[in-house]
Amino acid sequence: MFNPNSYTLQRGEKRLVLAYIAIALAHLSVGLLLGFMQGMEHAGIDLYKYTFLRHYYQGLSMHGVFNVLIFTTFFIAGFLSFVTAYSFGRPLHSRGLSWTTFWVMTVGVVMVDWALLTNKASVLYTSYAPLKAHPAYYGGLVLVVVGTLLLLANLLLTYLGWKRENPGKPTPLLAFGALATMIMWGLASTGIAVQFVFMLLPWSLGMVDAVDPILSRTLFWFSGHPLVYFWLLPAYLSWYFLLPKQAGGKLFSESLARLSFMLFIPLSLPVGFHHQFLDPGVSTGYKAVHAFITFGVFMPSMMTAFTVLASLETGGRARGGKGWLGWIKKLPWGDPSFTAQALAMVLFALGGVSGLVNAAFTLNLVVHNTMFVPGHFHLTVGTAVALTFMAIAYWLVPYLTGKKLWGRKLAVLQSCLWFVGMSVMSRGMSWAGMAGAPRRTALGSAPYALPEWITAFNWMAVGGAVLTVSGLLFFIILGMTAWRGKREASGGVEVPVAEPLIKDEPIPAYLDRFRPWVLGATVLVLMAYGPALIGLLTAGNPAIRGFSPF
Ligand code: HAS
């Protein structure tokens, strides 16, 4: 159901969203610079010696945690709080809970930052045992996850309040997308909750002597794969429910959009073993089940490709586009928020293809733990998600600050540079990976580097340099917007809520009720993980004492 409304967020609500975004972007800025240093290291130029960082692995740990854990989670918390309040036309259920959530997450981030900056948590973002970090690192990450669960509680309470007053009405689309994302994540987070609270934290505090690395990795990937959809779904929310309006068109199909979000709830979870195809201790049968379901979770993304493209076509045609492809030219390429998202989608299509390579049981043998995998995820989280969040910032920051976006043309250039830089860098990564170059390795100083890797590494360095320029431009534009942006009511922007093409399309109840999908997810998880987990728990695998790389 289309639910246009003119709810204006209160000053305090805007401040909260801005605070989340500020912390997210502060971490992204450092994360991007560290990425540049990594690219240079692979090309043989060691910049770490000019900084206070001890080594490549400290920089890599910070790069991963800052970009994919902190930037994403804080941006998502702010953005989903915003769209939920906006589309329900009311503040979130509890202001106290909203601020408590923010402070719990912020205290967590301060602990994580301290541990990383002091080289006490150089264990890379996957926190694999037997690498052991300082307890502040694990404790801080637990607080960040607790914060996301508090946010879920607040969104659910707001939803229930709205439902009581609007019986029988379908949930407004923006809030629906936010709830589906958070419900999926609420279920998914149980894996790392158990891993961190009952294994890694007591182990790093010295309360237990040793941990089972395979069990620990299995719990991590139980949450780790759905985590990528926790990053992706807010971008999908923008592509489905906001971008068509920015293109001058309509949402092609409300039912398809709802079905796609709902499918992510059961299908995101039972796929974690596709990260462990090469791990011992997990039966081939269960790995095959997870591989099969991975091809299932590919489907809602294919539905998204179809629906979003069709929605953009309605925009291009409404703007006078003719012929099979002529409508593409008519899209608003001068709008940085549109252009950034359209380019993010183009690269995401390639990210999807490389995901299929990873997911194929046999091809995974060739690419696992090689540079091919970073090639994949810089197209997905590094572009589909990060560039879309930048695009959202281009209208959301002006809306929240009441300052018009500074340097619109420069912002279009920034999006194009990101596209070019990432195309070149991820091409270099995939190429190097297929030639056997390992990932997560200080390759610049590796004596075994093969001559055939060199050209690919140079592609990575050139792409990384272009990306760094794009990142700097992004921060200059937002900084100038805050400092010199012309004051205007709501920053001169309107929240671009797209209207469905078919007005008042009847929505089947199963596309508006979360309960059956949560039940389906629980059953699937029990089937796909239950016996494998029991096997791991009872196998008596040797627990390993671990060591701290600091
Ligand atoms: Fe992945 C590893 C499989 C999606 C992130 N993935 C990773 C890692 C990360 C990551 C971070 O099966 C590394 C983890 C680590 O550190 O070890 N991934 C998949 C599959 C998908 C997938 C099948 N991944 C993502 C997303 C991520 C992400 C999304 C972040 C946001 N991934 C794997 C596997 C591994 C893996 C294995 C383990 C590898 C190993 O061995 O370690 C699918 O969900 C992808 C579906 C995507 C599509 C594309 C749809 C396209 C759309 C755009 C259409 C628009 C167009 C343009 C064409 C089907 C929606 C229109 C524009 C106009 C203007 C006209």
The active-site residue, picked from 225, 258, 274, 275, is 225
Residue with the smallest CA separation from ligand 1 atom 40 is: 368
Q: Which single residue is written with the structure tokens 């993304």? A: 301
Per-position DSSP letters for 281-328, written without gaps between them: TS-HHHHHHHHHHHHHHHHHHHHHHHHHHHHHHHHHHHTT--TTTHHH
Predicted pLDDT at 4: 52
Compute CA 382 distance to the chain's CA centroid, rounded to the nearest angstrom: 8
Ligand 1 pocket residue status of 132, Cβ below 6 Å: no
Ligand 1 pocket residue status of 228, Cβ below 6 Å: yes
- Is residue 225 annotated as a catalytic residue, yes or no? yes
| CA nearest neighbour of 345 among 391, 388, 311, 396 | 388
- Model confidence at 548, pLDDT cuts 50, 70, 90, reads confident
261, with CB counted inside 10 A (0-12, 13-18, 19+), is buried
Ligand 1 pocket residue status of 307, Cβ below 6 Å: no
Predicted pLDDT at 371: 97
The active-site residue, picked from 376, 457, 474, 514, is 376
CA-based torsion, 110, 112, 115, 117: positive or negative:
negative
Ligand 1 pocket mutation pick from 275, 338, 363, 429 by most atoms within 8 angstroms of CB? 275
pLDDT tens track for 120-147: 999 999 999 999 999 999 999 999 999 9
Q: Which atom of ligand 1 is nearest to the CA of 231?
A: 31
Distance from Cα 348 to the centre of ligand 1, integer Å: 7
SS3 letters across 110-178: HHHHHHHHCCCCCCCCCCCCCECCCHHHHHHHHHHHHHHHHHHHHHHHHHHHHHHHCCCCCCCHHHHHH
Residue 480's CB: how many other CB atoms inside 10 A? 15
Residue with the smallest CA separation from ligand 1 atom 41 is: 368
Strand partners, 544: 211
Predicted pLDDT at 449: 86
Ligand 1 pocket residue status of 349, Cβ below 6 Å: yes
Ligand 1 pocket residue status of 310, Cβ below 6 Å: no
- Average pLDDT value for the chain: 95
Q: Which residues of 247-256 are buried (b: 16+ CB within 10 A; e: fewer)?
A: bbbbbbbbeb
Q: Which single residue is written with the structure tokens 């078919």? A: 502
- Is residue 378 annotated as a catalytic residue, yes or no? yes
Predicted pLDDT at 490: 84
- Is residue 229 annotated as a catalytic residue, yes or no? yes
Q: Which atom of ligand 1 is nearest to the CA of 271?
A: 12
Residue with the smallest CA separation from ligand 1 atom 12 is: 359
Structure tokens at 174: 């923006």
- Residues ≥6 apart with Cβ < 8 Å to 249: 311, 312, 313, 314, 315, 316, 317, 318, 498
What is the mean pLDDT of the segment spanning 444-462?
Answer: 90
| CA nearest neighbour of 78 among 395, 387, 396, 384 | 396
- Residue 191 · residue 166 · CB < 8 Å: no
- Say which DSSP state 444 is in: G
Q: Phi and psi for 352 in degrees, rounded to 5?
A: -65, -45
- Is residue 11 annotated as a catalytic residue, yes or no? no
Ligand 1 pocket residue status of 294, Cβ below 6 Å: yes
Residue with the smallest CA separation from ligand 1 atom 16 is: 126
What is the C-alpha to C-alpha distance for residues 176 and 181, in angstroms, rounded to an integer? 9
Distance from Cα 358 to the centre of ligand 1, integer Å: 9
H or E stretch covering 73:
helix 72-88
- Is residue 510 annotated as a catalytic residue, yes or no? no
- Residue 548 · residue 133 · CB < 8 Å: yes
What is the mean pLDDT of the segment spanning 217-243?
Answer: 98
What is the C-alpha to C-alpha distance for residues 272 and 12, in angstroms, rounded to an integer? 39
- Residue 220 · residue 285 · CB < 8 Å: no
Q: Which atom of ligand 1 is nearest to the CA of 328?
A: 65
What is the mean pLDDT of the segment spanning 314-325?
Answer: 96
Q: Which single residue is written with the structure tokens 């560290």? A: 34
Ligand 1 pocket residue status of 297, Cβ below 6 Å: yes
- Is residue 27 annotated as a catalytic residue, yes or no? no
Number of H helices, E strands in the chain: 20, 0
- Is residue 376 annotated as a catalytic residue, yes or no? yes
pLDDT tens track for 460-507: 999 999 999 999 999 999 999 999 999 998 888 999 999 999 988 899
Distance from Cα 384 to the centre of ligand 1, integer Å: 9
pLDDT tens track for 187-201: 999 999 999 999 999
Residue with the smallest CA separation from ligand 1 atom 29 is: 380
Ligand 1 pocket residue status of 274, Cβ below 6 Å: yes
- Residues ≥6 apart with Cβ < 8 Å to 506: none
Ligand 1 pocket residue status of 364, Cβ below 6 Å: yes
Ligand 1 pocket residue status of 381, Cβ below 6 Å: yes
- Model confidence at 2, pLDDT cuts 50, 70, 90, reads very low
pLDDT tens track for 285-303: 999 999 999 999 999 999 9
- Say which DSSP state 448 is in: T
Ligand 1 pocket residue status of 380, Cβ below 6 Å: yes
Structure tokens at 128: 């694999």
- Model confidence at 1, pLDDT cuts 50, 70, 90, reads very low
Structure tokens at 39: 């690219």
Q: In a 3-state reduction of DSSP, which class is residue 370? A: strand
